[in-house]
Amino acid sequence: MLRKSHITQQQLNASKWGSSQEPSFDPPVIPTPPGVFNTSQVFIVHGHDDIAKLDMSAFISSLGLQPIILHQQASSGRTIIEKIEHYSNVGFGVVLYTPCDIGSKVGDLTGNYRARQNVVFEHGFLIGKLGRARVSAVVKGSVETPNDISGVVYVPMDHAGEWKQQLLVELRCAGYKV
């Protein structure tokens, strides 16, 4: 661009890092120290089922807790993964497995309902960050669940609302005063 006179040497120099200023590759600062959990908030992972998302959010709010739903939070120039890292400094995560996608092995003629790929990814992320005891997976309908997460108990999101009682037990076990 310089040779073709699209920019000047001064513009090129201004666009580069200064000689005393090195680019930083450090991860963004996370406001909650490791091992400290914010037990006033619950991170909710969801797919495209808005009713399930709103039901869960209303339930969490009814307990006097703040539901954290990623798309409702400010981006502040962050990428999606940076938003997840930033807003997941909570004491508990709820992952909603809802039948939003259909998937199958190559060659199969029929597929199974599956949660969105972001839901499965964020489930694993929260387990890694918070620990399995601080993450509950709630399943609505007949949804294929990941078999790589051995030992995870999936709570069925039933019409009678029994899932709420099961989630209360998990929240209390994680130190929430609800």
Within 10 angstroms of residue 81's Cβ, the number of other Cβ atoms is 11
Task: Kindly give the parts of the chain with pLDDT less than 50.
Answer: 17-21, 23-30
How would you write 21-36 as a 3-class SS string? CCCCCCCCCCCCCCCC
* Span 7-58, pLDDT tens digits: 677 666 655 544 444 544 444 444 556 667 889 999 999 999 999 999 999 9
pLDDT of residue 79: 94
Per DSSP, the residues of 101-149 read: EEE--TT-SS-EEE--HHHHHHHHHHHHHH-GGGEEEEE-SS-B--SSS
pLDDT of residue 16: 58
